[in-house]
Structure 1
């Protein structure tokens, strides 16, 4: 019985190291989304930090600021969704088959 417990602890430590490595790799990734046919592009890293926003000059219209705001929101929400999906795909492999409520 003691050998099984030691083996399980080693497996848990190995999985924890793999999870930490996977999370670090996710944080290094870059994600990009655009809206309005490329008129607004938002770039974020895997930490869900917006690192760049590009707005094409032709979309800037002082009479229609609302459209520009909508495009920025759409691109930002899209890039955050991409990060969330990638995180779930990557980190979900560690909890697959485990019945642990609240995990990923």
Structure 2
């Protein structure tokens, strides 16, 4: 391996680190929203899958244990749906950044 090859490898590593930083920034800025139960429960999550907001409609407040169990199920469903949307947003963002270049483990 010569100095030219080492220089190219160092440049590629530097570019990869810059892309990783850009991806982290995009994940923080990407916001997805999902709801369950016809909007009874709505969650907002960023691309890093951090829950930003949980909104529960006043109509969800029931008085029986079954109502509480249903509300818990709706919250779970909304959070899971938001997580899936965050994954999809990340994949789309990664594909755009890589310009069609496929890296194993990123898609």
TM-score tier after normalising by the smaller chain length: 0.7 to 0.9
Pair 1:71-2:71 in alignment: no
Q: Distance in 1 between matches of 2:103 and 2:42?
A: 38
Could you tell me whether the CA contact under 8 Å between 1:40 and 1:75 is conserved in 2?
yes
Give me the CA root mean square deviation.
2.1
Aligned equivalent of 1:50: 51
TM-score by length of structure 2 reads 0.77
Using the TM superposition, give the Cα deviation of residue 84 of structure 1 relative to its aligned residue in structure 2, in angstroms.
2.3
Q: Distance in 2 between matches of 1:10 and 1:85?
A: 30
Q: Which runs of 5+ in 1 are unaligned?
A: none
Deviation string for 1:23-77 (max 9, x for gaps)?
Answer: 1121122111000111110011223221211111112212221111111110011
4+ long deviations beyond 2 Å: 84-94, 96-99
Using the TM superposition, give the Cα deviation of residue 5 of structure 1 relative to its aligned residue in structure 2, in angstroms.
2.2
Q: Which runs of 5+ in 2 are unaligned?
A: none
Q: What's the secondary structure of 1:62's corresponding residue? A: coil
TM-score by length of structure 1 reads 0.79
